[in-house]
Amino acid sequence: MTFDFRDNERRMSLHLTARAEAIAQAMRPSALSASPRSGHDSIVPYQTTHSTGGAIMGADPATSAVNAYLQSWDVPNVFAFGASALPQNAGRNPTGTIGALTYRALDAIKSRYLQQPGPLAG
């Protein structure tokens, strides 16, 4: 997977960093360093990133790869468990959300899909 920041992400970083810096300045810190993202992305300095995306979950097969049960819209016996279903990272470790979505999908597979294979969402 290749990932890099686009202009919109850089502009969002500039905006958010400026707002966070203004809030921090209001608290009168003895020192402050603000660094909006710039340049290319690199996982080298921070290798525990939680990359997401690739098989986005959604309610419409035209704009998403899997339904709310992490089931492929195109191939109903394919399920994509993991962070690939999340369109973006919410800024925190997504493990709890991934676990909850996986548990929900597994429950639906056990209680509905195995009795009647096919789409779980329509």
CA distance 117 to 114: 6
* Cβ(114)–Cβ(106) below 8 Å: no
* Cβ(10)–Cβ(38) below 8 Å: yes
By three-state DSSP, how is residue 25 classified? helix
Catalytic choice (10, 12, 13, 50) = 50
Q: Which among 39, 46, 45, 49 has a CA at the least distance from the CA of 95?
A: 49
Q: Beta strands of the chain (E only): which ranges? A: none
Please confirm, yes or no, whether 40 is among the known catalytic residues: no
Residues serving a catalytic function are 50
